[in-house]
Amino acid sequence: MPTLLPEQHAPVYPLKPPAGTTGSNLFQLVRGEGGLAHQADLLVPHRKEYYVLAFVWRGGCRHWVDMVPYVMKDNTLYFTVPGQLMVKEEARPMWGTSLAFTPEFLALNQHTSLAELPLLQNRHNHHELLLAVADVAFVQELLGKLEAEYHRPGEWQQRMLTAHLAVLLTYLSRLYTEQFPDTEPSVEKLLLNTYRAKIEEGFRERHEVGAYASLLHVSAGHLSEVVKAQSGKSAITHIQERLVLEARRLLFHTPQSVKEIAFDLGFADASYFSRFFKRGTGLTPAGYRASNREMYP
């Protein structure tokens, strides 16, 4: 069972061998061939105690990292470091290869210095690396070598896995520094990050941009302008997306009625909540709940 951190209210998951296997709790490699996420993993904010690298060659599903939504692109590398808040939002098939490894694994064979690489430090709090054609070929080749060693147990397996992983992390760290130059975040970027944090604290009670502007001691117009310029989305969209995500979680994981969910999320009128939800998802709350029960009977 995951442990709960009281101040974060999100389960924290250690790395465990897949059910029914005797795999490692330090390093895992999984190839996805169009499968769906486990029902229990969907729409549940959580944190991991380990690093994750996922090369997606065919994606399309959406997930969140530190409350920023990402739609997975083809031939793109996604990564998280221990402690980041994650949510798998959609039950859509995905094709790719994911690596999971703990800080303890990096300490084996005197490779603790790998944790200092820019990709694993992730000081800019990013999650997505865009790959050129040559990068895709290089990453695929290294993942192939890692997969071959992963399925070849023996006294040299650990050393070989670490060696290939070191090359991969070093290569990706170079791409990281190219895509995210080491500069101090601007005042505007800091305002966006604070706005997102305030939404996470109060999305149930505050549904208007003006309410957050007051908390941040700026005008609603200025906040809206900065958020749009920094994120590409309007300020109100950030609030609405967070409300829809929580509504989907409650519809998926709880037996609460639509009216109860509406009131829980700060809507005084259940019918207005239903219209709001349909604008965001294309489905009514009841329709969304029914469609997921068909997918996960």
Q: Say if residue 154 is in the same domain as residue 25.
A: yes
Q: How confident is the model at residue 41 (pLDDT cuts 50, 70, 90)?
A: confident
Domain containing 197 — which CATH number?
A: 1.10.10.60
Considering the entire predicted model, what is its pTM?
A: 0.84
- CA angle, corner 208, sides to 202 and 212, nearest 5? 55
Q: Say if residue 20 is in the same domain as residue 141.
A: yes
Q: Residue 72, Cα to own-chain centre: how many angstroms?
A: 10
Q: Say if residue 163 is in the same domain as residue 204.
A: no
Residues spanned by the domain of 201: 187-295
pLDDT at 4 > cutoff 50: no
For 33, other C-beta atoms within 10 Å of its C-beta total: 9
pLDDT in tens, 52-93: 999 999 877 889 998 889 999 999 999 999 999 999 888 788
Q: Say if residue 218 is in the same domain as residue 116.
A: no
Residue ending a domain, choose from 135, 155, 179: 179
Give mean pLDDT, residues 80-109: 89
Residue ending a domain, choose from 179, 201, 222: 179
Radius of gyration of the chain (CA): 21
Q: How confident is the model at residue 295 (pLDDT cuts 50, 70, 90)?
A: low
The Cα–Cα gap between 261 and 13 comes to 27
Q: Say if residue 126 is in the same domain as residue 78.
A: yes
pLDDT in tens, 190-249: 999 999 999 999 999 999 999 999 999 999 999 999 999 999 999 999 999 999 999 999
Domain containing 136 — which CATH number?
A: 2.60.120.280
Q: Say if residue 194 is in the same domain as residue 158.
A: no
Q: Say if residue 37 is in the same domain as residue 163.
A: yes
Q: Say if residue 106 is in the same domain as residue 163.
A: yes
Q: Say if residue 235 is in the same domain as residue 134.
A: no
Residue ending a domain, choose from 179, 200, 222: 179
Q: Say if residue 68 is in the same domain as residue 200.
A: no
Number of domains making up the chain = 2
Please identify which residue in the block is written with the tokens 């300020």: 235
Q: How confident is the model at residue 1 (pLDDT cuts 50, 70, 90)?
A: very low
pLDDT in tens, 111-133: 778 999 999 999 888 899 999 99
pLDDT at 3 > cutoff 60: no
**Angle separating helix axes 235-253 and 209-216, nearest 10 degrees:** 110
Q: Say if residue 97 is in the same domain as residue 242.
A: no
Q: What is the mean pLDDT of the chain?
A: 90
Query: Do the Cβ atoms of 225 and 212 come closer than 8 Å?
Result: no
